[in-house]
Amino acid sequence: MATLSSLSKFKNTGLLLIRIGLGIMFIMHGYPKLLGGPERWESVGGAMGTIGITFLPMLWGLLAALAETAGGFFFLIGLLFRPTAVVLAFTMLIAALFHLGKGDGLMGASHAIEVGVVFLGLAFVGPGKYSIDKR
């Protein structure tokens, strides 16, 4: 398909679209957790128990909510892109392990796995030229 091969000129536009879409969705996903307060943070942070970390679940939950909210914003604008992508990939790894551990199966964990793979891949690719990082 020669017609579609011409789209390769727009790699940076494609990366921008991915950043905007994922950034907005993660802000929307993380912000309610952030506003949920200590009870919600403790509930979310309890997922760290799947890797044997059972201390300070409230702190881990707050960090996950911040990672999703602030990370979504950083992703959106392309600031600290690669470290943010790695942090979000780790957050999605914990979410996937949590879903698998509670018996949701692969379908229950699939969203976290899919998005985690995208974040990990984008950590290698970078944010594109339409970003604050401009790399």
Tens-place pLDDT, residues 81-132: 999 999 999 999 999 999 999 899 999 999 999 999 999 999 999 999 999 9
Exposure on the CB side of residue 95, measured as CA atoms within 13 A = 25
Query: Is residue 135 in a domain?
Result: no
Is 133 part of a structural domain of the chain? no
- Split into its structural domains, the chain has a count of 1
Confirm whether 17 is domain-assigned: yes
For the chain, the farthest-separated pair of C-alpha atoms sits apart, in whole angstroms, at 56
**The two structure tokens encoding residue 86:** 């790695």
The mean pLDDT of 66-87, rounded to a whole number, is 96
Please give the mean pLDDT across all residues of the chain: 92
Residue 4 lies in a domain: no
pLDDT of 135 > 60? The answer is no
Decide if 5 is inside a domain.
Answer: no
Torsion-angle region of residue 37: left (phi > 0), alpha (psi -120 to 50) or beta?
Answer: left
Asked, for residue 134, whether it belongs to a domain, the answer is no
Q: Find the domain containing 53 and state its range.
A: 12-125
Domain contains 7: no
Percent of the chain with pLDDT over 70: 98
> pTM score, two decimals?
0.90
Q: Report how far apart the first and last C-alpha atoms of the chain are (Å, whole number).
A: 29
pLDDT at 4: 78
In a domain, 60, yes or no: yes
- Tell whether the torsion through CA atoms of 61, 29, 105 and 89 is positive or negative: negative
